[in-house]
Chain A
Amino acid sequence: MKMTRLTAAMALTMTAAAPAIAETLHFPMLSYRTGPFAPGGIPFADGYADYLRLINERDGGIGGVPIRITECETAYNTERGVECYQSIRGDNPLVIQPLSTGITYQLIPRTMVDGIPMHTMGYGRTSAVNGEVFNWTFNYPGTYWDGASVIINYLLEENDGSLDGKKVVLLYHNSAYGREPIPTLTRLGERYGFEFLPIGVDSPGQEQGSQWLQIRRERPDYVIMWGWGVMNATAIREAANIRFPMENFIGVWWSGSEQDVIPVGAGADGYKALAMHGTGRDYPVYDDIQTYVVDRGLAAGTGEEIGTVLYSRGMYAAMLAVEAAKVAQEIHGVAQITPAMMRDGMANLVITEELMESLGLPGFGPAFEVSCDNHGGSGEAMIQQWDANAREWNLITDWIAPDREMIMEMVMEDSLAWAAENDITPGCLDRSGG
């Protein structure tokens, strides 16, 4: 009995390690469709897969080479994330998108050694903006520090340029993700003279009674939230319960999706959140997705979540990956690109408004350029507000720029400290051969 189990195990692992089929571009997905964060993970994964399928169906792949999608379930768990990474790293994955700040931290050193580019869009380690240290990690179009700065810039505008004497609370998911904006907000608080108070919520965040009691006692002018999953809806409900003015409650882009506000009902009306991209079904690309993917029965989900915030974000991540692959093909003059070539494509990615329009996404995301000393794009974001009656997000500002000068200063400090810790000499990578 013992032997048969062992041989079966061996046979199984052998097949798992089987080499890839040639002439495809491998785009792996590290998704989470199970676990406490599945409501956020599912639409993102569906959006990512649907856009890649659209490219296959409509354009026949990128530069004539079809895309191969593989999926691995992480359940937002770092150990499973590492297992997923190990299972795909030998299979020429063009870009890893872990969709979890915790997994990102584990994979940054590994991807560097393995030479696999990683894109952490709007999450992950902010100081990866410094491409001289983090050669293989990209976090365009925006980072958490950008997001924190955008919120403060927005509040400055609201208050005629002064936040002096105001009190700002950060309600954060007590994890690497949630703690990321604290240094930025602390520094901004010193600069603009507002009192900054971080309050942590332990994962997954269903218990927030004591935190909101504290908020009630502290009477802050603004509450900023870095939450994810069930924590968002709970926080918005608690805020509604203590009658905290919703227009003074602002979430990061991971705390501003339909799943977070709809459960709260009318109480969520007026809640604001950052938007790193547009939402809604009004973009021409969704018609293509409907025709080529959904109507052909190829959609990853039911097709109903098209245009929701997190679906759009997954789609946006896939679109940026596809554009980077196109740039890589152009640079190297070959269609079958390697992960190293993909990195060159990502490091030289230029997104213009015209390009966005030609892709069927006019005004969807900011225009930005990636370079060796800036892997973080422009960092611009908009503010959106929830309308509980119409059940939709409305953009209430144009793109707001972050305080990039201060952020770059912090990025340099943090990234150079990390480089020293890990014996890395900062420098740009040369383009790979070929």
Chain B
Amino acid sequence: MIYREAGDFKLSYGADSQTFPIKGDRWAYWLALAFAVGVVPLFLTDYLANAILIPFLIYVIAALGLNLLLGYCGQLSLGTGGFMAVGAYAAFKLMTGFPDLSIVFVIILAGVITAGVGVLFGLPSLRIKGFYLAVATLAAQFFLVWLFTRTPWFFNYSATGMITAPTRTILGVPITGPNASALSMYLFCLFFVVVLAWLARNLTRGSLGRSWMAIRDMDIAAEIIGVNPLKAKLTAFAISSFYVGIAGALLFTVLLGAAEASEAFGIDKSFLVLFMVIIGGLGSILGAFIGAAFLIIGPVLLKILLVNNLGWPTDLAAHLEVMVIGALILVFLIAEPHGLTALWRMLKEKLRLWPFPY
């Protein structure tokens, strides 16, 4: 009864191959979008935006990026934190070097620069796979952070090595800097999430995404049927890094306002995003959303519940948070190795037949 598929006929090839073939899903998608754009701003508080929604949106972009690489193309990367740092420092250099450049282009160019760096570090993927590739990308992580902390040019020779985002506006409304309102920052990030998620969804349905998946499933077979592994792997690295770079640039300019590479973009960031992808579900756009929600909103809600509502000591709550999140990760992965999105897929299959299963 939830999904009423009776009478939902497709009359053209286009309609048959659309993103959401089920009418109920289409509705849900448009409703969610309308809710995020139209309803959330009505009750958006500074805390809700800065502590929950904006980090969530930014990490969705990072998780989407890694999911394209790991989930669709099967290339394991531990360099996400480093690539986010590239995005952040590129955004900083662009903002300070070209003060008149619109912040939208700053973010996109930061993504493009990160894509270039990603291709560079993706080159070893042509020779090595699996865990060996993970180690090579781990080197990227450490090298990039080392580069940004040791080369004064990247932080404009500031005495402390911190980079600070100046105020930038769109149509007079501040987006970055301390004067930016929660609403403008939220909508700015939401815009990028919607565009990038739409792009990711369509990329993975197109020929490029199919070539990635062919490489992921069996690279030798893919090569035999005519998929160029050089092109497939390097485009996956480029587009994935583009996403991750945008996430890093947004994290620095919109959310943090000030950052330093070793602290804000350390190896823990790489693992955080990797866990999001694994928990959410490899090879799924929805998975990036679920994974980011689980690892960003979960701890904050747990903290609010334990500290603010139950009045527990903060250190106990912080320790418990690590344990609870860790235990939940284990439970979910044992119960559903393919991530939370697989649970949702199963639920959907059941709902399509409900209440008349065969």
Please give, as numbers and ranges, the residues of chain B lying within 8 Å of A13 by CB-CB distance: 45, 47-48, 52, 301, 304
Closest residue on chain B to residue A186 by CB atoms: B159
Contacts A9-B297, A79-B264, A113-B178; is A16 near B318 (CB within 8 Å)? no
Interface residue A75 (Cβ < 8 Å from any Cβ of B) = yes
Closest residue on chain B to residue A101 by CB atoms: B160
Query: Which of A174-182, A258-266, A315-323 forms part of the interface with chain B?
Result: A174-182
Interface residue A409 (Cβ < 8 Å from any Cβ of B) = no
Number of interface residues of A (CB under 8 A): 48
Give Cα A71–Cα B160 distance, bound, in whole angstroms: 28
Please give, as numbers and ranges, the residues of chain A lying within 8 Å of B177 by CB-CB distance: 109, 422
- Are B301 and A89 in contact, CB atoms less than 8 angstroms apart? no
Closest residue on chain B to residue A2 by CB atoms: B344
| B357: min CB distance to chain A, Å | 19
- Are B301 and A102 in contact, CB atoms less than 8 angstroms apart? no
- Are B256 and A82 in contact, CB atoms less than 8 angstroms apart? yes
- Are A421 and B166 in contact, CB atoms less than 8 angstroms apart? yes
User: Which residues of chain A (86-108) have a CB below 8 Å from chain B?
Assistant: 86-87, 89-90, 101-102, 105-106
Give Cα A13–Cα B301 distance, bound, in whole angstroms: 8
Interface residue B164 (Cβ < 8 Å from any Cβ of A) = yes
Interface residue A355 (Cβ < 8 Å from any Cβ of B) = no
Partner of B51, one of A31, A86, A101, A203: A86
Give Cα A73–Cα B320 distance, bound, in whole angstroms: 12
Interface residue A78 (Cβ < 8 Å from any Cβ of B) = yes
Please give, as numbers and ranges, the residues of chain A lying within 8 Å of B51 by CB-CB distance: 82-83, 86-87
- Are B314 and A73 in contact, CB atoms less than 8 angstroms apart? yes
Closest residue on chain A to residue B260 by CB atoms: A176
Interface residue A110 (Cβ < 8 Å from any Cβ of B) = yes
Please give, as numbers and ranges, the residues of chain A lying within 8 Å of B55 by CB-CB distance: 79
- Are A31 and B308 in contact, CB atoms less than 8 angstroms apart? no
Interface residue A350 (Cβ < 8 Å from any Cβ of B) = no
Give Cα A8–Cα B301 distance, bound, in whole angstroms: 9
Please give, as numbers and ranges, the residues of chain A lying within 8 Å of B258 by CB-CB distance: 78, 105-106
- Are A12 and B304 in contact, CB atoms less than 8 angstroms apart? yes
- Are B262 and A175 in contact, CB atoms less than 8 angstroms apart? yes
| B29: min CB distance to chain A, Å | 14
| A258: min CB distance to chain B, Å | 20
- Are A9 and B260 in contact, CB atoms less than 8 angstroms apart? no
User: Which residues of chain B (30-65) have a CB below 8 Å from chain A?
Assistant: 45-48, 50-52, 55
Please give, as numbers and ranges, the residues of chain B lying within 8 Å of A87 by CB-CB distance: 47, 51, 308
Interface residue B184 (Cβ < 8 Å from any Cβ of A) = no
Please give, as numbers and ranges, the residues of chain A lying within 8 Å of B178 by CB-CB distance: 109-110, 112-113
Closest residue on chain A to residue B43 by CB atoms: A10
Partner of B308, one of A15, A42, A73: A15
Contacts A16-B308, A102-B260; is A176 near B161 (CB within 8 Å)? yes
Contacts A16-B304, A87-B47; is A202 near B262 (CB within 8 Å)? yes
Interface residue B169 (Cβ < 8 Å from any Cβ of A) = no
Interface residue A375 (Cβ < 8 Å from any Cβ of B) = no
Partner of A71, one of B162, B260, B300, B314: B314
- Are B259 and A78 in contact, CB atoms less than 8 angstroms apart? yes
| A200: min CB distance to chain B, Å | 8
Number of A-B contacts (CB under 8 A): 125
Chain A binding surface SS class:
helix
- Are A203 and B262 in contact, CB atoms less than 8 angstroms apart? yes
Interface residue A414 (Cβ < 8 Å from any Cβ of B) = yes
Chain B binding surface SS class:
helix
Max chain A CB contacts within 10 Å: which of B149, B178, B179, B305? B178
- Are B162 and A176 in contact, CB atoms less than 8 angstroms apart? yes
Interface residue A183 (Cβ < 8 Å from any Cβ of B) = yes
| B40: min CB distance to chain A, Å | 11
Please give, as numbers and ranges, the residues of chain B lying within 8 Å of A113 by CB-CB distance: 178-179
| B270: min CB distance to chain A, Å | 15
User: Which residues of chain A (157-194) have a CB below 8 Å from chain B?
Assistant: 174-176, 179-180, 182-183
Interface residue A302 (Cβ < 8 Å from any Cβ of B) = no
Interface residue B207 (Cβ < 8 Å from any Cβ of A) = no
Please give, as numbers and ranges, the residues of chain A lying within 8 Å of B146 by CB-CB distance: 202
Interface residue A428 (Cβ < 8 Å from any Cβ of B) = no
| B307: min CB distance to chain A, Å | 8
Please give, as numbers and ranges, the residues of chain B lying within 8 Å of A423 by CB-CB distance: 167
Please give, as numbers and ranges, the residues of chain A lying within 8 Å of B300 by CB-CB distance: 83
Give Cα A423–Cα B317 distance, bound, in whole angstroms: 41
Interface residue B100 (Cβ < 8 Å from any Cβ of A) = no
Give Cα A251–Cα B217 distance, bound, in whole angstroms: 56
- Are B314 and A102 in contact, CB atoms less than 8 angstroms apart? no
Give Cα A34–Cα B47 distance, bound, in whole angstroms: 23
Q: Could you list some 25 contacts between A and B, CB below 8 A? A: A8-B301, A13-B45, A13-B304, A15-B308, A34-B315, A34-B322, A73-B303, A73-B307, A73-B314, A73-B317, A73-B318, A78-B258, A82-B50, A83-B300, A86-B46, A87-B47, A90-B47, A102-B162, A112-B178, A176-B160, A180-B159, A203-B262, A203-B263, A414-B159, A422-B167
Point out residues on B near A: beta carbons under 8 Å: 45-48, 50-52, 55, 146, 149-150, 159-162, 164, 166-167, 177-179, 255-260, 262-264, 297, 300-301, 303-305, 307-309, 313-315, 317-319, 322
Point out residues on A near B: beta carbons under 8 Å: 8-9, 12-13, 15-17, 31, 33-34, 38, 42, 71-73, 75, 77-79, 82-83, 86-87, 89-90, 101-102, 105-106, 109-110, 112-113, 125, 174-176, 179-180, 182-183, 200, 202-203, 414, 421-423
Knowing that A38-B315, A90-B47 touch, tell me 8 more A-B residue pairs with CB under 8 angstroms. Answer: A12-B304, A15-B308, A33-B313, A73-B318, A89-B46, A105-B160, A202-B149, A421-B164
